[in-house]
């Protein structure tokens, strides 16, 4: 088998490229589709505070861990563990990370596909005057159309990444992310100037602790992982492409701030509109597909804003799918020594097959269930509630207990060029706080805590 030539490994060409790609991965359906609806279901402001605490105390330390381990190893996830911990079982983490990437991609591309399907519907005005609930279920229960849109998402993703890091991921995320930001600002201005907007802002920012349940606290923690793309080697892989002169401490902080800011902006777009038109903030996963077309329909210039909105989420989703496929692409090309194009085509073929049952889960295959969940439900549950937290736990344990902070310190400080003032706090967070918190989420997510009667 041909050997991969590591001296020819690609990298990000600029600081701004690193931020665009990593923030592009983090910012996605998690921020714009999921964050508003889970915040709505959990009563708003108090949930937000807990989420912010999880981001700062667990998300940020794990982000820095992934970046620094990845850059130090300068390898894909398999190669990284092999290099940093030769002849140990850590190598097999690569299997978990790659499986997580396949699992997430298989249903994420389906949701992203629905979003793409809503773009032509918005432009043509086809949604106005319809029952939005029916329009949405007509789409997701049919066989051919959603499948085609998910394949479009997969096709665009491999098109964007096939030319590599500098000429692929970096080039496209650098164009797409600023567009996303501009679109969000336009929509935010529109939303906060609606009559009655303040009620929505209050809902999001005024903490109401009586609405917060223990389940909500744990949901906030799980969502911190998903939203920051942590626990499956995305940031490790991207870290392996970051050049040695970049400051990983500020990079991690900037990515975390960007992701959080976009989630808040999504909330500021969605809640004022929901309250201005007297809708329910706790409408669940259908919030953007069912509630928002209603909002836009009642708004002047609604067609334009609705079209912009779905284009925006489509862009956000694509910059995330690029990172999911890159984890696998780097693993396959470097470990098997095959060409990037060949590797990517193989991966895309397998992903396309996995997308099919996920897409059909709302229609032709809605009766096919496992433990009472459709294929889509099982994939979503496995990824966010099992694979990502277990992956995050492994990273925290690997760095905190096995590899140890003292061995990564020079990577974090660029050989002493930057100070690492919070090293003591960092060590404590990565060794104790993050692992304990993650074990609690896992016990909760798998229902063990509720069997014990604790939540
Ligand atoms: N962070 C992405 C989002 O919020 C989802 C994602 C998770 C992407 C894990 C890559 C890895 O939509």
* Ligand 1 center to 99 CA (angstroms): 14
Find the mean pLDDT for residues 174-191: 87
283: pLDDT strictly greater than 80: no
**Is the confidence at residue 125, as pLDDT, over 90?**
no
Query: Which of the residue ranges 78-87, 136-145, 249-258 would you say has the lowest mean pLDDT?
Result: 136-145
**23 CB less than 6 Å from ligand 1?**
no
Task: Kindly state the average pLDDT of the residues 328-347.
Answer: 96
Integer Cα distance of 51 and 247 in angstroms:
26
Residue with the larger pLDDT of the pair 184 and 93: 93
CA distance 113 to 358: 12
CB 223 within 8 A of CB 38: yes
**What's the pLDDT tens digit per position in 297-309?**
777 788 888 898 8
Mean pLDDT of 241-259: 97
Residue whose Cα lies nearest atom 11 of ligand 1: it is 229
> Can you name the residues that pair with 374 across neighbouring β-strands?
369
pLDDT given at position 1: 59
Instruction: Note the pLDDT tens digit of each residue in 128-172.
Output: 777 888 888 889 899 999 999 999 999 999 999 999 998 999 999
Q: Is 30 a pocket residue for ligand 1 (Cβ < 6 Å)?
A: yes
| 3 state SS of 327 | helix
Q: Report the C-alpha gap between 403 and 408 in whole angstroms.
A: 8
For residues 222 and 54, the answer to whether their CB atoms sit within 8 Å is no
22 Cβ closer than 6 Å to some ligand 1 atom: no
- Name the percent of the chain in helix, strand, coil, to the closest 5: 80, 0, 20
End-to-end CA distance of the chain: 52
227 lines ligand 1 (CB under 6 A): yes
Distance of CA 38 to the CA centre of its chain: 15
Between the CA of 234 and the centroid of ligand 1 the distance, in Å, is 9
Task: Specify the residue with its C-alpha closest to ligand 1, atom 7.
Answer: 229
CB of 229 closer than 6 A to ligand 1?
Answer: yes
CA of 443 to the centre of ligand 1 (A): 22
Residue 455 — very low, low, confident or very high, per pLDDT cuts 50/70/90? low
Higher pLDDT, 446 or 174: 174
In whole angstroms, give the CA distance from residue 44 to residue 352.
Answer: 37
Q: How do residues 354-405 score in pLDDT, each as one tens digit?
A: 999 999 999 888 888 888 889 998 998 888 888 998 999 999 999 999 999 9
**Cβ neighbours for 185, distance < 8 A, ≥ 6 positions apart:** 265
Cβ(54)–Cβ(224) under 8 Å? yes
Q: How far is the CA of 194 from the centre of ligand 1 (A)?
A: 31
pLDDT(212) > 70:
yes
CB of 384 closer than 8 Å to CB of 76: no
Protein residue closest via CA to atom 12 of ligand 1: 28
DSSP one-letter code for 213: -
């Amino acid at each position: 088998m041909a050997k991969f030539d590591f001296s020819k490994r690609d990298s990000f060409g600029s600081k701004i490229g690193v931020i665009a790609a990593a923030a592009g991965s983090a910012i996605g359906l998690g921020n714009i589709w999921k964050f508003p609806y889970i915040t709505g279901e959990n009563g708003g402001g108090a949930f937000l505070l807990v989420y912010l605490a999880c981001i700062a105390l667990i998300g940020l330390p794990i982000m820095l861990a992934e970046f620094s381990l990845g850059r130090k190893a300068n390898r894909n996830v398999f190669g990284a563990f092999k290099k940093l911990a030769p002849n140990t079982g850590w190598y097999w983490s690569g299997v978990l990370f790659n499986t997580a990437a396949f699992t997430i991609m298989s249903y994420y591309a389906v949701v992203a596909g629905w979003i793409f399907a809503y773009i032509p519907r918005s432009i043509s005005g086809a949604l106005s005057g319809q029952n939005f609930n029916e329009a949405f279920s007509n789409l997701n229960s049919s066989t051919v159309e959603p499948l085609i849109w998910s394949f479009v998402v997969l096709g665009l993703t491999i098109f964007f990444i096939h030319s590599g890091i500098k000429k692929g991921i970096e080039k496209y995320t650098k164009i797409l992310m600023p567009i996303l930001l501009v679109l969000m600002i336009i929509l935010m201005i529109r939303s906060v100037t609606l009559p009655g907007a303040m009620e929505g802002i209050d809902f999001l920012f005024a903490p109401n602790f009586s609405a917060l349940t223990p389940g909500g606290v744990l949901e906030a923690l799980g969502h911190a992982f998903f939203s920051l793309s942590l626990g499956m080697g995305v940031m490790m892989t991207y870290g392996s492409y970051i050049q040695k002169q970049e400051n990983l401490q500020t990079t991690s902080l900037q990515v975390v701030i960007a992701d959080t800011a976009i989630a808040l902006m999504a909330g500021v777009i969605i809640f004022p509109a929901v309250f201005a038109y007297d809708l329910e903030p706790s409408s669940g996963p259908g919030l953007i597909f069912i509630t928002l077309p209603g909002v836009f329909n009642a708004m002047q210039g609604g067609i334009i804003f609705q079209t912009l909105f779905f284009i925006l989420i489509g862009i956000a989703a694509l910059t995330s799918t690029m990172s999911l496929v890159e984890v696998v692409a780097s693993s396959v090309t470097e470990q098997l020594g095959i060409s990037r194009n060949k590797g990517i085509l193989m991966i895309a073929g397998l992903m396309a097959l996995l997308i099919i049952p996920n897409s059909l889960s709302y229609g032709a295959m809605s009766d096919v269930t496992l433990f009472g969940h459709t294929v889509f439900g099982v994939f979503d549950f496995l990824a966010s509630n099992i694979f990502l937290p277990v992956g995050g736990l492994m990273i925290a344990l690997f760095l905190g207990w096995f590899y140890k902070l003292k061995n990564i310190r020079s990577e974090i400080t660029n050989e002493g060029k930057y100070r690492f003032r919070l090293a003591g706090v960092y060590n404590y967070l990565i060794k104790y706080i993050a692992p304990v918190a993650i074990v609690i989420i896992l016990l909760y997510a798998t229902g063990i805590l509720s069997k014990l009667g604790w939540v």
